[in-house]
Amino acid sequence: MFEAKPKAKRLGWAVVGCGWVARDYVIPALQGASNARLVALCDANAEALMRIPADDVNRYTALGSVLADKDVQAVYIATPNHLHAAMTEACAAAGKHVLCEKPMAVTPREGLRMVSACQRAGVHYATAFDQRHHAAHRKLRTLVKEGVLGTITQARIHYACWLPEDWTPDNWRIDPEQAGGGAMIDLAPHGLDLLEVILGDEWESLTAMTQRRVHCYAVDDGAVLMGQFKSGALGLLQVAYNCPDAYPRRTLELIGTRARALAYKTMGQTPGGSLSLIDAKTGEETWVPLSPEEDRSPFLQQVEVFSTCVLEGRPQPFAPERDVRLVGLLTQATQAGKAFPPCH
Ligand SMILES: NC(=O)c1ccc[n+]([C@@H]2O[C@H](COP(=O)([O-])OP(=O)(O)OC[C@H]3O[C@@H](n4cnc5c(N)ncnc54)[C@H](O)[C@@H]3O)[C@@H](O)[C@H]2O)c1
């Protein structure tokens, strides 16, 4: 006789905001995760809510109903940026753990409020920096740690897209009130986080220049950010809403004294892409293989890591105060009061 295996523990999740990122990446990840269970969906737009294919989930149009649902232990917040802070505070007050999309908040003050609310309530908080969970980026972290690249002198990221005005019916990304900014606040948080994680370093300084070059939006349509890490390495991020999608625009390059690493098409929401190294002495390029077992959805990896920490009562890999520091860094790098030239 076989003994019945004890049922694996699964964390009960709700997703709040069932738009692009939730529909295409977060919800499939929660449905496929070994230690998570999707129990509820919430969107203020009933049509968006009903469009999500999912069986046996509760569907709500208001956050209050999610908070009253006893099966919900953790909430993935995927609403427009200006709602992150108040929603996190409400979830924490109801005893729900929170994994919140980037940017964590629009101001560091909001970020601090989120962290204290979660600490007061004794719930876990993490910002959804999915890209640090990509297999190529995890491999890069190991290579840097093992010294394969030698001393890292410079790091460069180009992460950009073309964002037309009618990208979504309600394109909140170009509304400063809802987004808190433009291409810079939307796209730069990934690179700011990722380079710290891969280099095992911390930004010491950051300056930025923004532009409104192509799209006549009330927010920037491109930015270049430049800074220095505590180690002395320099970092450069190029982000944009004005970069044609046909160009190579998802690249991460690390220059080291022993090797140069290039991750191509690894930034973004999906697994895949490539990772190569050029040897400093021979100039020879080698490709770093990523096995299919390693190269899973970064969102799947992310929800499994978060759920494991909650279920096992372990702290999340990064303290939330660090995420507030990154929001602060981005805010101070923004050119306060900068007026864009008139649209032509
Ligand atoms: N990690 C990533 O790669 C990634 C990718 C895309 C978006 N994001 C982040 O995810 C968040 C959502 O972006 P998106 O592209 O999915 O936006 P979206 O506009 O496609 O979806 C947002 C959804 O939130 C819903 N919503 C708005 N107000 C609500 C409320 N009060 N209660 C419940 N639902 C509400 C909207 O109806 C919409 O369905 C943003 O913070 C964005 O920065 C992250």
> Which atom of ligand 1 has the smallest separation from the CA of 268?
3
pLDDT at position 315: 98
Q: What residue segments make up the domains of the chain, in order of their start?
A: 11-128+301-318, 133-296
User: In angstroms, what is the span from residue 23 Cα to ligand 1's centroid?
Assistant: 10
Distance from residue 177's CA to the centre of ligand 1 (Å): 14
Q: pLDDT tens digit string along 140-161?
A: 999 999 999 999 999 999 999 9
pLDDT attached to residue 1: 45
| Distance of alpha carbon 89 from alpha carbon 85, whole angstroms | 6
DSSP calls for 226-280: EEEETTS-EEEEEEESBS-TTS--EEEEEEESSEEEEEES-SSSSS--EEEEEET
Collapsed DSSP state (helix, strand, coil) of residue 156: strand
When pLDDT is averaged across residues 112-124 and rounded to a whole number, the result is 98
What are the distances in angstroms from CA 156 to CA 30, 143, 203, 285? 32, 17, 14, 19
Give the pLDDT score at 342: 76
At 268-281, the pLDDT tens digits run 999 999 999 999 99
Average pLDDT over residues 279-301: 95
The best mutation among 20, 129, 267 to test binding of ligand 1, ranked by most ligand atoms within 8 Å of the C-beta, falls on: 20
Residue 227, pLDDT > 70, answer: yes
pLDDT in tens, 306-335: 999 999 999 999 999 999 999 999 999 987
CATH T-level assignment (fold) for domain 11-128+301-318: Rossmann fold (3.40.50)
How far apart are the C-alpha atoms of 249 and 289, rounded to whole Å? 22
Q: Report the atom number in ligand 1 closest to the C-alpha of 42.
A: 33
Query: What is the structure's pLDDT at 339?
Result: 77
Dist. CA 80 → ligand 1 center (Å): 5
pLDDT, tens only, 203-223: 999 999 999 999 999 999 999
In DSSP terms, 41 is beta-bridged to: 15, 59
- DSSP letters of 80-127? -GGGHHHHHHHHHHTT-EEEEESSS-SSHHHHHHHHHHHHHHT--EEE
Average pLDDT over residues 287-301: 94
Give 7's pLDDT tier (boundaries 50, 70, 90). Answer: low
Residue 168: which pLDDT band, with cuts at 50, 70 and 90? confident
Distance of alpha carbon 223 from the chain centroid: 18
Write out residues with Cβ below 6 Å of ligand 1.
Answer: 16-22, 42-45, 48, 63, 78-81, 83, 101-102, 128, 130, 168, 172, 186, 269
Mutating to test ligand 1, I would choose from 15, 50, 99, 101 the residue with most ligand atoms within 8 A of its C-beta, which is 101
| Mean per-residue pLDDT, 63-81 | 98
pLDDT digits (tens, 9 = 90+) for 31-42: 999 999 999 999
Q: How far is the CA of 18 from the centre of ligand 1 (A)?
A: 7
Question: What is the CATH number that goes with domain 133-296?
Answer: 3.30.360.10
Per residue in 74-108, pLDDT tens?
999 999 999 999 999 999 999 999 999 999 999 99
